């Protein structure tokens, strides 16, 4: 293996230490960041993610409030809860753990969140602000990837950036962020022809397709930087990314692993958004009283 490992765990740890100090300072000013985490149903992966998020909050001094709702919760009930949290002064930011059970419309649920408390940056108001280059929050996974690149002094400006995947959570917002950093961005998806050929053009290749080991070493330009967002559990429980690590790490100059790469960075960015939301709430409250 010749590639440098881009260590998200280590970087996330130092980001969290800074957030912890920031939260201590805010508390001295009477600002108490609080994150509401809503989980509907009993999906084990969602439960695990929610537990991680609560643990992260506790580590940096952010209070988290869990709302665990029954699988059969109606959309009306869920939206009513969100509306209550929207005006609750203890709650700076709201996160609805996705995916929701099939009977709930994710778009309508996300649209119900107060954009000022949109911890994930999924609300169309915030997506629009991101698109027009004036973001309020940054979407967690894409922002985590940019911080990982920048902390490792990987220049984005002028580089050929290829993003595999066009989801609203990863691919599309990441493409916008890379563009805002002056990358030349190509977005690939399930209908892209000659995927390997397009990937081989990339100086920076980010793969978020949710397809185990879709991209192998022969689809990577020698010396490229490879960010593997995918997390896939194979039968027998082995975790693999969307990139075949054994072959890709022979060709790339730098690469993330399936664990300790993008995941911890995503989690750290959620904490950043929660702190930002607490500051926004404080400013708005002060304006309301003046
Ligand atoms: P998604 O299923 O919403 O989107 C997948 C995208 O990949 C789609 O746009 C689709 O067009 C594209 N795609 C699928 N098959 C393809 C193929 N054969 N060739 C080219 N493109 C293809 O997934 P998502 O939410 O964007 O997540 C993607 C992966 O990233 C998943 O494995 C998910 O678990 C992981 N993920 C990890 C983190 C993290 O923090 N580590 C965060 C979010 C998502």
Can you spell out the DSSP letters for 122-186? -SHHHHHHHHTT--SS--HHHHHHHHHHHHTT---TT-EEEEE---TTTHHHHHHHHHHTT-EEE
Domain for residue 235, yes or no?
yes
Residue at 81 is within a domain:
yes
Domain assignment present for 289: no
Pick the closest to residue 103 from 79, 67, 81, 71 (CA basis).
71
Say which residues have a Cβ less than 8 Å from residue 283's Cβ, sequence separation at least 6. none
Are 84 and 151 found together in one domain?
no
Please, which residues have CB within 8 angstroms of residue 254's CB and are 6 or more apart in sequence? 3, 4, 5, 6, 152, 154, 225, 226
Domain co-membership, 172 together with 249: yes
| 92 domain-assigned | yes
At 66, give phi and psi (nearest 5°). -90, 135
Whether residues 258 and 188 fall in one domain: yes
Domain co-membership, 41 together with 155: no
Distances (CA, A) of 258 to 165, 227, 261: 17, 9, 6
The verdict on residue 19 lying in a domain is no
Residues in the chain: 290
Residue 18 Cα to ligand 1 middle (Å):
30
Residue numbers annotated as active site: 53, 97, 120
Task: Name the domain count of the chain.
Answer: 2
Q: Classify each residue of 149-161 as buried b or exposed e, where b means 16 or more C-beta atoms within 10 Å of its C-beta.
A: bebeebebeebbb
Phi-psi sector, 133: left (phi>0), alpha (psi -120 to 50), beta: left
**Ligand 1 nearest atom to the CA of residue 211, by list position:** 15
Q: What is the CATH number of the domain that holds 96?
A: 3.40.50.10860
User: How many angstroms is it from 230 CA to the middle of ligand 1?
Assistant: 6
**Rounded distance from Cα 104 to ligand 1 centre (Å):** 21
Hey, which of 100, 141, 142, 165 would you mutate to test ligand 1's pocket, going by the most ligand atoms within 8 Å of its Cβ?
165
Which pLDDT belongs to residue 290?
66
Q: How many C-alpha atoms does 259 have within 13 Å on its Cβ side? A: 4
One domain, residues 165 and 244: yes
Between the CA of residue 207 and those of 104, 155, 255, what are the distances in Å? 29, 18, 11
Q: How far is CA 208 from CA 20, 129, 142, 175, 230, in A?
A: 30, 23, 10, 12, 5
CATH number at residue 214: 3.40.50.720
Which tens digit of pLDDT belongs to each residue from 4-13? 999 999 999 9
d(CA 94, CA 110): 10
Tell whether 68 and 167 lie within a shared domain.
Answer: no
pLDDT tens per residue, the chain (290 residues)?
689 999 999 999 999 999 999 999 999 999 999 999 999 999 999 999 999 999 999 999 999 999 999 999 999 999 999 999 999 999 999 999 999 999 999 999 999 999 999 999 999 999 999 999 999 999 999 999 999 999 999 999 999 999 999 999 999 999 999 999 999 999 999 999 999 999 999 999 999 999 999 999 999 999 999 999 999 999 878 999 999 999 999 999 999 999 999 999 999 999 999 999 999 998 888 877 76
pTM for the model? 0.97
Give the β-pairing of 93-96 and 34-40: parallel
Q: What pLDDT was estimated at residue 285? A: 83
Which of 6, 207, 209, 270 maximizes ligand 1 atoms within 8 Å of its Cβ, making it the mutation to test the pocket? 209
Question: Which residues are paired to 94 by β-bridges?
Answer: 36, 118
The answer on 156 and 257 residing in a single domain is: yes
The strand pairing partners of 196, in sequence order, are none
Q: Are residues 165 and 106 in the same domain?
A: no
214 CA to centre of ligand 1 in angstroms: 11
- Return the residue whose CA atom lies nearest to atom 24 of ligand 1: 167
Ligand 1 contact, 188 CB (< 6 A): yes
Cβ(211) to ligand 1 under 6 A? yes
Task: Tell me whether residue 124 is in a domain.
Answer: no
Per-residue pLDDT tens over the stretch 253-263: 999 999 999 99
What is the pLDDT at residue 198?
A: 98
Domain extent, residue 57, equals 30-114
**Does the residue 24 lie in any domain?**
no
Residue 154 sits in the same domain as residue 248: yes
Specify whether the CB–CB gap between 189 and 166 falls below 8 A. yes
Identify the residue whose C-alpha is closest to ligand 1 atom 22.
Answer: 190
Q: Which two tokens stand for residue 11?
A: 């970087």
Residue 134 lies in a domain: no
């Amino acid at each position: 293996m010749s590639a440098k490992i881009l260590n998200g765990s280590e970087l996330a740890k130092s980001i969290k230490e800074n957030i912890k100090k920031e939260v201590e300072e805010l508390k001295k000013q009477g600002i108490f960041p609080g994150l509401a985490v809503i989980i509907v149903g009993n999906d084990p992966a969602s439960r695990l993610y929610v537990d991680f998020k609560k643990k992260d909050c506790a580590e940096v001094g952010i209070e988290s409030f869990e709302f665990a709702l029954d699988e059969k919760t109606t959309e009306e009930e869920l939206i009513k809860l969100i509306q209550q949290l929207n005006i609750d002064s203890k709650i700076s930011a709201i996160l609805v753990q996705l995916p929701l059970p099939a009977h709930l419309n994710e778009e309508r649920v996300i649209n119900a969140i107060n954009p000022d408390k949109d911890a994930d940056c999924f609300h169309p108001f915030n997506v629009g602000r991101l698109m027009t280059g004036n973001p309020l929050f940054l979407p967690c996974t894409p922002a985590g990837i940019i911080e990982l690149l920048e902390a490792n002094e990987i220049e984005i400006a002028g580089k050929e950036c290829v993003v595999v995947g066009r989801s609203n959570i990863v691919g599309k917002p990441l493409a916008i962020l890379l563009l805002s950093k002056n990358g030349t961005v190509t977005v690939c998806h399930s209908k892209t022809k000659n995927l390997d050929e397009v990937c081989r053009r990339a100086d920076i290749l980010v793969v978020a397709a949710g397809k185990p080991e879709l991209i192998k070493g022969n689809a990577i330009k020698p010396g490229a930087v490879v960010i593997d967002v995918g997390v896939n559990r194979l039968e027998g429980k082995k975790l693999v990314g969307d990139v075949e690590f054994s072959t890709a790490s022979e060709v790339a100059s730098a690469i993330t692993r399936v664990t300790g790469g993008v995941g911890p960075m995503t989690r750290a960015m959620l904490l950043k958004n929660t702190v930002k939301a607490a500051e926004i709430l404080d400013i708005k409250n002060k304006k309301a009283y003046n």
